[in-house]
Amino acid sequence: MALAIGKDIDELVAHCNDLQIADKNALKTLYKNYDTNNGSVTTDDLLPLDAKKNIILRQYESKFQKKQCLRYIRDELLDKAKITKCPCCGINEPSQLDHFMDKSTYGQLACCRLNLVPLCGCCNLKKHDQTYINYVHAYYDRYPDVDFLITKVTVKNNHIGFVMTIDKSVITDTNLARRTEHQFSVISDGNRFQKAGINYLCDFIHGLRCRTNRSLRTMIKRELDYDMKAYGRNHWKTSIIRGLLNCLAFDMNVVNEMKKSKVVRMENGIGA
């Protein structure tokens, strides 16, 4: 990463007449402080480049475009071979770069790849220029190995319902817990997880090939093991299957009725 950052700064300064050698050194210090502080900087860190803030911002707006000198940064960060799903929602493909510390306020970081997070258009639109202190940094924040995205699955009249909530009590870092809950409430707006969950459960239920409740539980456990390995324990798919496993009312009678109707009807939605 250090080599990439060094190249980025060299390219930025070399292709901008308004940036000098002194600015290059200031950028290196700023990026280093951002990395050392796990994705943020102070006003004092920004001050040496305050006069160049708008100049750097303009470089992002012009030089990150197709066939321009800094386009390679965008292409590397949005490389589908390295990242296939938005780290914010895990639903859509990333297609845009979000400035974690927004570029309008922190223009000095406009071209810093450490501050550029690949998101899907929906998550980027929802976050927009909201303050970074309410969001989780995909590169720096780390969670304890616990289940904090909780899905409660219910069955009523052979219809599945589920509610997702964040269990802040298991996240030992209270600031991270607060930011996680806030981010989840923003990106889940419009029942995004409910809609994705419906499609996921439709495919899972209609793909089941079992006849007994015992074999059904085995299939659910297998799916949970797969999702844990493929997505992690707090991905929405993993959480839904974990909730399904904990719902004793979900049995073969429910599965058979749902297969007959060819529709998985959902009740409830996303919890607060």
pLDDT at 262 over 80: no
pLDDT at 259 over 60: yes
Beta carbons of 94 and 86 less than 8 angstroms apart: yes
Q: Does residue 89 sit within a domain?
A: yes
Q: What is the pLDDT of residue 268?
A: 45
Q: Does residue 128 sit within a domain?
A: yes
Beta carbons of 151 and 167 less than 8 angstroms apart: no
Q: What is the mean pLDDT of residues 62-85?
A: 95
Q: Does residue 142 sit within a domain?
A: no
Q: State whether 153 and 130 are in the same domain.
A: no
Beta carbons of 158 and 253 less than 8 angstroms apart: yes
Confidence grade of residue 194 (pLDDT, cut at 50, 70, 90): confident
Q: Does residue 144 sit within a domain?
A: no
pLDDT at 269 over 60: no
Tell me the pLDDT tens digit for each residue of 224-241. 999 999 999 999 999 999
pLDDT at 267 over 50: no
Axis-axis angle for helices 53-63, 2-14 (nearest 10) = 100
Beta carbons of 95 and 45 less than 8 angstroms apart: no
Tokens for 99, please give them: 């400035």
User: Which domain, by its residues, includes 117?
Assistant: 2-134
Domains identified in the chain, total number: 2
Q: State whether 48 and 111 are in the same domain.
A: yes
Instruction: Give the Cα separation of 160 and 143 in Å (integer).
Output: 30
Confidence grade of residue 198 (pLDDT, cut at 50, 70, 90): confident
Domain end, chosen from 111, 134, 157, is at 134
Q: Does residue 119 sit within a domain?
A: yes
Q: What is the mean pLDDT of residues 119-129?
A: 92
DSSP string, 15-48: T-TT--HHHHHHHHHHHHHHHHTTS---HHHHGG
Q: What is the pLDDT of residue 263?
A: 52
Tell me the pLDDT tens digit for each residue of 20-49. 999 999 999 999 999 999 999 999 999 999
Q: State whether 67 and 119 are in the same domain.
A: yes
Q: Does residue 204 sit within a domain?
A: yes
Q: What is the mean pLDDT of residues 168-184?
A: 97
Q: State whether 10 and 130 are in the same domain.
A: yes
3-state secondary structure at position 85:
coil
On the CB side of 135, how many CA atoms lie within 13 Å of its CA?
Answer: 26
